[in-house]
Amino acid sequence: MFVSQGKDTLDLRDTALGRPRPERSGSGDAVASTPRVAVVGFGYIGSCLGAALAERGARVVALDSDASLIDDLRAGRCRTPEPGMAEALGAVARAGRVRFTTDYDALSDVDVVVITVGTPVAADGTLLTGQLAAVCRELAPRLRRGQLVILRSTVAPGVTRTLVVPLLQESGLVEGEGFGVAYCPERLAEGDALAQVRELPVVVGGCSAESGAAAADFWRRALGVEVQTVASVDVAEIVKLATNWWIDANIAIANELARFCSAYGVDVLDVVAAANSLPKGSGNVNVLLPSVGVGGACLTKDPWMTWQAAQRRGVQLRTIETARRVNDDMPGFACRLIGDGLAKLGKDLDGARVAVLGVAFKNDTGDLRRTPVQGVVDGLRAGGAEVRLFDPMADASAIREVFRCWPAAGLAEAVDGADAVAVLAGHRDFHAIDLDWLRDAVAMPCLMFDGRMYWPADTVRRIRRLGFGFCGIGR
């Protein structure tokens, strides 16, 4: 808390969302107030956060520079392929707790501005700050005394201090006195993001002690979650990078372990389950599961952002280079497994009909950004296969844009006469597939390929008893 030393010193926790400004009744009396929050960048993360804040009573300004996105949201159309997202956002919109706009003037009357715009990287892994800088330049002339600005976009160490703060201080206000800036890494997992935003602890690093305290108070009040305050904004920035570095490297270990197990005819799932029973540190050994590759907006770029930031300080991060190579090779490896599996059934990949079930980058989401399935499909087509796609969670027009073909209208159309069925995103719906029905629909003998389904041993035995061939990543 700031100690009062004159008119230019204030307590951000009393003027920002932690202590929202009271409204006035018609008679001029103060009445109960609800938090005023702007979420700038209303894509995947922004929409999840905005919906969760509005559910808990905040009044949310959802701001995005994409006018077509805002038009869709105003019309009740939700582009975010997150389970339950359309329903949650529709409910708070109907209740009048969220307003969609492209107008930055709406920021002048909020207490907290949360920035969730995209932070892509160049081909060499260098962070591209154009979108973030543009937002800061729009916000600066509208910045109001006492506002708290929270950055949740992933950035390289030091960007909040050296880019965001100087641009905002062009307003004439000083960070830590006139306004506050904090960095709070986004750590949501797609497919479970709505549940996680409501319950995951939030990491807070302030550019000043006062800003950090204000941000911590904001999250406790606005979301009712635990808060872990770290020593500086730089620490908070590296927390996000370290998290995705670890996940990518862990998946790479799982993928190489899968190849190792395949060479010995061992099911990698048995190995992972037993290995993860060993207590280690504050938890257990935690080897993740192998798959056809790593995709999405974060894991494919954040490690390279970390690598490039380290390079600038003369540090070589070899684990990042290795993990990225391993994971980027998995779509090609999956293609080879499918081709080999067909050959064991006396069929050739050239001319085979392959049904690909699930084209998103992970299970239980419809997100196609940098999906590794694209590499698998490209490889199958290059080998001469006819590929049919089906994903009940992904938008058909988005599939058309990424894969250059329309998906099948349904499961039956996708698998009709298939020589191989490759499940590459293990959505919940696929666990309900009737194997007896499937046997009658495909061209037996048919290969069942487990790219991310993780069927238990009993199911694999039944697949084989029905006359299917079977193989998978490490299986």
DSSP readout, 365-428?
----TT-THHHHHHHHHHTT-EEEEE-TTS-HHHHHHHHSSPPPSSHHHHHTT-SEEEE-S--G
Going by DSSP bridges, is the β-strand pair 469-472/98-101 parallel, antiparallel, or unpaired?
unpaired
Residue 78 has pLDDT above 60, yes or no: yes
Q: What is the mean pLDDT of residues 208-229?
A: 96
SS3 content of the chain, % helix, strand, coil (to 5): 45, 15, 40
How far is 212 from 229, CA to CA, in rounded Å? 7
Q: Which two tokens stand for residue 429?
A: 């719906």
Backbone angles phi, psi at 355, to 5 degrees: -95, 120
What strands, in cross-sheet order, belong to the sheet with 420-423?
A: 386-390, 353-357, 420-423, 447-450, 469-472
Lowest mean pLDDT among 8-17, 149-158, 188-197, 423-432: 8-17
Residue 222 has pLDDT above 70, yes or no: yes
How far is 69 from 293, CA to CA, in rounded Å? 30
Which of these, 205, 197, 153, 157, lies nearest to 181 by C-alpha position?
Answer: 205
How far is 308 from 302, CA to CA, in rounded Å? 10
Q: What is the mean pLDDT of residues 118-124?
A: 92
Backbone angles phi, psi at 261, to 5 degrees: -65, -40
Residue 4 has pLDDT above 70, yes or no: no
Torsion of CA 421, 422, 426, 427, to 10 degrees: -50
How far is 291 from 293, CA to CA, in rounded Å? 5
Q: Which two tokens stand for residue 138?
A: 């729009």
Residue 200 has pLDDT above 80, yes or no: yes
- Show the CA angle centred on residue 48, arms to residues 176 and 121, nearest 5°: 70
Residue 293 has pLDDT above 60, yes or no: yes
| Whether the Cβ atoms of residue 168 and residue 179 lie closer than 8 Å to each other | yes
How far is 63 from 117, CA to CA, in rounded Å? 10
| Whether the Cβ atoms of residue 40 and residue 142 lie closer than 8 Å to each other | no
CA 276 remoteness from chain centre: 25
- Show the CA angle centred on residue 365, arms to residues 359 and 371, nearest 5°: 40
Q: How far apart are the first and last CA of the chain?
A: 57
Count Cα neighbours of 322 within 13 Å in the Cβ-side half-sphere: 12
Q: What is the mean pLDDT of residues 228-237?
A: 97
Q: pTM for this one?
A: 0.90
Q: Per-residue confidence at 3, pLDDT binned at 50, 70, 90?
A: very low
pLDDT in tens, 318-346: 999 999 999 999 999 999 999 999 999 99
Percent pLDDT > 70 in the chain is: 93
How far is 89 from 322, CA to CA, in rounded Å? 40
For residue 31, list its beta bridge partners.
23
Residue 24 is predicted with a pLDDT of: 44
Which of these, 389, 396, 191, 373, lies nearest to 295 by C-alpha position?
Answer: 373
How far is 116 from 379, CA to CA, in rounded Å? 35
Residue 190 is predicted with a pLDDT of: 87
Q: What is the mean pLDDT of the chain?
A: 92
Query: Helix, strand, or coil here: 339?
Result: helix
Residue 260 is predicted with a pLDDT of: 98
Query: Helix, strand, or coil here: 362?
Result: coil
Please, what's the b/e burial string for 215-237 (b: 16 or more CB within 10 A of its CB; e: otherwise)?
bbbbbebbbeeebebbebbbebb
Alpha helices in 95-172 (DSSP H): 130-139, 159, 165-168
How far is 348 from 341, CA to CA, in rounded Å? 9
Please, what's the b/e burial string for 257-277 (b: 16 or more CB within 10 A of its CB; e: otherwise)?
bbbebbeeeebbbebbeeeee
Q: Residue 264 is which amino acid?
A: Y
Residue 229 has pLDDT above 70, yes or no: yes
